[in-house]
Chains A and B, each alone.
Chain A
Amino acid sequence: DAKTTQPPSMDCAEGRAANLPCNHSTISGNEYVYWYRQIHSQGPQYIIHGLKNNETNEMASLIITEDRKSSTLILPHATLRDTAVYYCIVRPRGADGLTFGKGTHLIIQP
């Protein structure tokens, strides 16, 4: 299974862009990169996913390097409500479900 590496914690000032890195150097060609977040005491919330191309939705942008060995989740204008644990997940071939790591605790500072 492809594994991911994320920094355990990050700070970002409110109103600035939050850039969360993820390393997945052993990713296979047909594995997607997913990002979820979990705000304290709530269920994980889907943010975005991608295969090769960069993706953008109303919540965030996902930048995947050309070799697919790393990616960055960008929250363009972070707010205090974006404080959460962010999980970068690579979905293995044939897997039913998602395997969560420890994620990055993003703290948005006022």
Chain B
Amino acid sequence: DAGITQSPRHKVTETGTPVTLRCHQTENHRYMYWYRQDPGHGLRLIHYSYGVKDTDKGEVSDGYSVSRSKTEDFLLTLESATSSQTSVYFCAISDQTGAISGNTIYFGEGSWLTVV
């Protein structure tokens, strides 16, 4: 298993509160990703990082921000959680972009977030 730890694994929060999900890796990989998975939509990319302090938006970035101050940690923040952000969130890592070579992306075990 890739050395990826997501925390918390489960969280219930109230609408309007800020929430931060943490992804920690022990592989020293350059690239980190946050996905969300919802019924009927599959996995969708929220944000990704290609290095410390280097991040970019994915397909569904509205309402989310990210930060990467260290290689090993990638934080996903919901500034003001809404019920539509109830989802399973997956962190992923890779050591190179697939545009250069056929490298592999490895996923964490997920964080279940419920916004009530």
Chain A positions within 8 Å of B, measured between CB atoms, are: 32, 34, 41-46, 49-51, 91, 93-103
Asked if A94 and B99 make an inter-chain contact with CB atoms under 8 angstroms apart, the answer reads yes
Q: Which of A46, A97, A99, A100 has the most CB of B within 10 A?
A: A97
Answer yes or no: B74 CB below 8 A from chain A CBs: no
Contacts A42-B110, A43-B90, A43-B108 given; does A97 touch B102 at CB 8 Å: no
Min CB distance, A88 to chain B, in Å?
A: 13
Contacts A44-B107, A51-B102 given; does A103 touch B42 at CB 8 Å: yes
Contacts A42-B109, A43-B108 given; does A97 touch B42 at CB 8 Å: no
Min CB distance, B2 to chain A, in Å?
A: 9
* A51–B71 CA distance with the chains assembled, in angstroms: 29
Q: Which of B50, B56, B90, B105 has the most CB of A within 10 A?
A: B105
* A95–B107 CA distance with the chains assembled, in angstroms: 17
